[in-house]
Structure 1
Amino acid sequence: MARRNRKKSTPLKAIDNRTNRAIGIVRVSTAEQANEERYSIPHQKAHIAEECRRRGFELIHIFEFVQSGAKVLSRSTGEQEKILKFIEDNNISYVIVHELDRLARSMTDTLLFTDELAKRNVALVSVHDPVDTSTPQGIMQMQILAVFAEYFRKQLAGKVMGSMIERAREGKPLGKTPYGYTIGPQGFEVVPHEAEVVKKIFRLYVEQNLGMRGIAVELNRLGLRTRKGNQWSHSTVRDILENEVYTGCFLWDKDGLNISIENNHTPIINREIWEKAQTRRNTKNKLGGRAQNQNFLLSGLLKCGHCTDPEGNHVSMAGRTNRKGKYCYKYYRCNNYASKGTCQGHEYRADRLEKLVLEDIEMLIRNGPGMIVDRNIILEDGESIKQNLELYERRLAALDTALEKAAAAYEAGAYDLDFFRERKLKITAEQAELKKLIAETRARLNGCIPPEEIQRRVQVKMKAAVRLLQETDITRAKMYLQEIIDHILVKSEEDLTIFYRV
């Protein structure tokens, strides 16, 4: 029988890449420094230096603290972060203390700090305690300590989460304080000069049709700055427009727990302006964000008469600028042609399309609102009713989820029975109201608008048309134009179909 060659197994050895570089940590309280010689900083430093000499360690630095043990390793003071950063920046392998209670009075804090050191392959040595995590026995101690550290960490996390839930239940601020508010004894308090900026942002967005970048440009032009003193940007404006806190509503959604409290604090804007801003956001998203920021009168309104997407919708057109020498030409180009090169119509001169549209509007103004009945009309209620219906249905679905989360939170012990009952009652009441609104909205969508109501709306649109022809600022002109026109179907520079809103 052939003899098999067997490899001898070698015992696993702990790999230790530690250097001989060490730091010391010494601490006294004010009372200890005055009354106890063995606790004094010179006494502790002398013993740490002697321990380093005995072991052959290079003592790089000694951190000195004259404060309570609770503060040395507290995350709120930032001292622990400073120590850990120094360790990482200076390739430290050993932390030496005179006694363990010089680190902290709390064993929990000591265990958690020791765990942080172990993650960095740093040993903790106490001169007068049997603790040395650089030895095999110390490694075993570290494994035991790590179990306790993980337990205490979870305990602390649970307490923090419980505290956050209590604050959320009370409608008290959590996390970053929104621009426009500060935190007072009762929660959110309005900062007057910041609140004026918030109001201005909503006015520029709702009333003057400025986009988020346009609002940022205007705020910077006026010399206004964010709370940190920075210039405004598209994202900082967006964060304000999307934050419902400015209506006085408190919202908190964390790890499956959803809490909403109306009239929690003083609002900066009213609910009507908030709803208008969200409706406008939906409209702008539908028209296309890039189109809204272009310096073209018809951007966002034009649809290609030759191209459709897979769902059968006409493809949008976007403004383009071509420069030939000293001349600049503006065009509207089909997005299909721009991305795929597959469009029969390609592109059209902007000045010609805009001239045809403005001439048609002028004709309507000259000949009276009765002429609009001969045009293509889209009842804007139809679209807005659909949008409202979608919003109501989404909110109803969100409430169903919120009720499930509240039940799960109660079962997990995060909610007590009284709070769960109160939360359930509020959710079910809002669900009933939404179901009623959905039924009414569907009835309106299926019904028809009386002729006299259409005529009244035409009169309103004609006023917007007059303002459009008098407006020289393109941003405001686009706002008036979008009040009048839903979209324009383009087959050629002479063949346009305008769909008016009433």
Structure 2
Amino acid sequence: MPITQPPAIASLDRFGETTTFAVSYLRVSTKEQAERGGRDEGFSIPAQREANLRKARDLNAVVIEEFVDAGESARKADRPELVRMIEYVKTNEIAYCIVHKVDRLARNRADDVAIHLALKEAGVMLVSATENIDETPSGMLLHGIMSTIAEFYSRNLANEVSKGMNQKAVTGGTNGKAPVGYLNITTRDELGRELRTVQPDPDRAPMVKWAFEAYATGNYSTSSLHEALVDRGLTTVPTPKRPTKPPALSTIQKMLANPYYKGNVSFRGATYEGMHEPLISPEIWYRVRSVLTAKQTSGEKTQAHDHYLKGTVYCRQCGSRLMVTNAKSRSGTIYPYFICAGRHAKRTNCEQKSMFIPDVEIAVEDYYRRIQIPEHVVSALRTFITAQFDQLHVTAKQERHAHGLERDDLLAERSKLLQAHYAGAVPLDLLKTEQDRIARRLAFLNAQVESGDIEYEQAKAHLDDCLALAGDCHQLHMSIDDSLRRIANQAFFSKIYLSEEGTIDGEPGEPFTVFFNPDVQSTAARHERRPVNS
């Protein structure tokens, strides 16, 4: 098909002849393509350049400017070189924009139309080196068809990639680069097929394991842990373009919150059991999570904790957090005190004096002794709470039954809609809208129906464990070391308020706020003494 030539752009070359000018646009989607084979431009870009130059010679045109987007997806129109090319043709007399294929320019119709319109307004004809596309009616029709195919290919490819990644996660595989402490390994099976797996990094895995165990003690902040890991020699894995270097603080923070290290993989908000080897036990990981949560709640920003009560104790007079300070006597003896942070920073009008820490420790021990629930009250609470819980479970079971009936009705409705569509009574757009509505409701109902019994049993067991701890809290406090005392304090209490006179008021956390409540304990005792048939 002959190409309709635009008006010749008149300029005199060194031979005194008129010359038609063109620009060439080249693109590959990924950095890997741009660097394939160890070459700066890979293989695709030089091949596109050669084809575009041949097309320019066929058009008797000279390519005076080339624009290359290396590693830029066509799914976005704000590619740097594409934007520069549009601006260039607006201010220069250009006849042709030559691309290797239409999908190099755009992979959705909206962007294709916008780019094509910008070129047309600048008086530039879009030409494909490998497709018969021009400004004739047939060429424009082919252009539209090819743009639509490119958009379908892009969306379908993304969908297939997403499905593949989801299936890989469901089966325990690792999507993308493994986190620090692991290495992506490529091997081959007995049939020569490529296998991509993840294995612990022999150099870094021991340091990562130490980091979790150290942080779980509560004696490190993320900053001090980061410094300790750098001192131990932890570095990132080198790449062809990036040499090894110490990890950033954000890398350590993300590492501590990543369930991958206890053997799980996460994808799109869901968590699955991974095929890789865990570096730490679930118990260590959950202890780390507890420490992270406690530090976020207490707002502590020091590099190391000075005392196991720090972060839990607060000033009874003004409500500010208590901080540790050390006073030195003339003989050089150090005396540790708790002082009000509000008074220290002059943020409040608090007048509470400092409190000698050993005295505070004794007062807290005595407070634990006073709030510990007697064994007979624990038994009454267990009976009372279990009865209340069972009653709630009956109500929830009735709700799940109703949800199951509604789910059956929705399934029947979906089937009827599909039959009506096949019979021509329901148009496709209405079918899609109704099917989406039904699918969303079904997803909710399925979750409610399937999770009820599991959540009930887990919650009941959790409450029973917490009740056992409440009945043994003083013995527990006296038998554990300081790092575990910190965690226990923050589990039992949201805050412990201290006064300079030694008065203590605890603000229990959930569910201990119920267990330590005298009114609830009295109600449970009366409930246990009540005759069975009353």
Which category of TM-score, normalised to the shorter sequence, fits these structures?
0.5 to 0.7
Call closer, same or farther: CA 1:231–1:295 in 2, change over 3 Å: farther
Query: 1:241, 1:376 → 2: CA distance?
Result: 37
Supply the AA of the counterpart residue of 1:216: H
Query: 1:61, 1:87 → 2: CA distance?
Result: 10
Call closer, same or farther: CA 1:136–1:347 in 2, change over 3 Å: farther
1:167-224 deviation line (CA, Å, top 9, x unaligned): 2332222234222223342633222222112201101111352121111111122232
| SS state at 1:240 partner | helix
Partner of 1:197: 207
Query: 2:196, 2:324 → 1: CA distance?
Result: 51
Residues 183-194 of structure 1 correspond to what in structure 2 (within 5 A)? 183-184=184-185, 185=195, 187-194=197-204
Unaligned 5+ segments in structure 2 are 1-19, 28-46, 186-194, 239-243, 327-335, 405-409, 416-431, 436-441, 509-534
Matched, 1:303 2:305: no
1:364-411 deviation line (CA, Å, top 9, x unaligned): 9xxxxxx848965467xx9xx99xx9xxx9xx9xxx9xx9xxx99x99
Query: 1:128, 1:148 → 2: CA distance?
Result: 15
Query: 1:89, 1:97 → 2: CA distance?
Result: 13
Supply the AA of the counterpart residue of 2:499: K
| Deviation of 1:294 (Å) | 6.6
Query: 2:260, 2:51 → 1: CA distance?
Result: 56
Partner of 1:246: 261
Partner of 1:23: 23
| SS state at 1:131 partner | coil
Partner of 1:267: 278
Partner of 1:332: 339
| Deviation of 1:151 (Å) | 3.4
Residues 111-150 of structure 1 correspond to what in structure 2 (within 5 A)? 112=107, 119=114, 121-122=118-119, 124-126=126-128, 131-132=133-134, 146-150=147-151
| SS state at 2:168 partner | helix
Query: 2:469, 2:128 → 1: CA distance?
Result: 85
Normalising by structure 1, report the TM-score: 0.56
| SS state at 1:232 partner | coil
| Identical residues among aligned pairs (%) | 16
| Deviation of 1:489 (Å) | 2.5
Supply the AA of the counterpart residue of 1:248: G
| SS state at 2:278 partner | coil
- The answer to whether the 8 A contact 2:261-2:280 is kept is yes
Query: 1:489, 1:119 → 2: CA distance?
Result: 65
| Deviation of 1:448 (Å) | 8.4
1:437-471 deviation line (CA, Å, top 9, x unaligned): 32233345567866xx567536514xx3xxx6xxx
Query: 2:346, 2:59 → 1: CA distance?
Result: 73
Unaligned 5+ segments in structure 1 are 1-19, 28-38, 64-72, 308-313, 322-328, 365-370, 414-419, 469-475
Aligned residues: CA RMSD = 5.7
| SS state at 2:456 partner | helix
| Deviation of 1:131 (Å) | 2.6
Matched, 1:60 2:51: no
Matched, 1:354 2:369: no
| Deviation of 1:115 (Å) | 7.5
Call closer, same or farther: CA 1:192–1:166 in 2, change over 3 Å: same
Query: 1:355, 1:448 → 2: CA distance?
Result: 25
1:265-293 deviation line (CA, Å, top 9, x unaligned): 21111122122222233333333343675
1:316-335 deviation line (CA, Å, top 9, x unaligned): 345699xxxxxxx9983355
| SS state at 2:268 partner | strand
1:309-357 deviation line (CA, Å, top 9, x unaligned): xxxxx55345699xxxxxxx9983355996964x4x25644xx543543
Query: 2:150, 2:478 → 1: CA distance?
Result: 73
Query: 1:443, 1:306 → 2: CA distance?
Result: 35
For residue 459 of structure 2, the aligned residue among 438, 445, 460 is: 438
| Deviation of 1:298 (Å) | 5.1
Call closer, same or farther: CA 1:108–1:61 in 2, change over 3 Å: closer
Residues 274-285 of structure 1 correspond to what in structure 2 (within 5 A)? 274-285=285-296
| SS state at 1:268 partner | coil
Partner of 1:178: 179
| SS state at 1:24 partner | strand
| SS state at 1:189 partner | strand
Normalising by structure 2, report the TM-score: 0.53
Call closer, same or farther: CA 1:50–1:191 in 2, change over 3 Å: same
Supply the AA of the counterpart residue of 2:282: R
Residues 478-489 of structure 1 correspond to what in structure 2 (within 5 A)? 488-489=496-497
- The answer to whether the 8 A contact 2:183-2:201 is kept is yes
Supply the AA of the counterpart residue of 2:223: R
- The answer to whether the 8 A contact 1:377-1:500 is kept is no
| SS state at 1:489 partner | strand
Paired positions, count: 377
Supply the AA of the counterpart residue of 1:182: L
1:108-160 deviation line (CA, Å, top 9, x unaligned): 66763998676554563247965346x99977876665444433332222222
Supply the AA of the counterpart residue of 1:442: L
Query: 1:303, 1:156 → 2: CA distance?
Result: 57
| Deviation of 1:40 (Å) | 12
- The answer to whether the 8 A contact 2:204-2:234 is kept is no
Call closer, same or farther: CA 1:88–1:336 in 2, change over 3 Å: farther
Partner of 1:225: 235
Supply the AA of the counterpart residue of 2:107: L
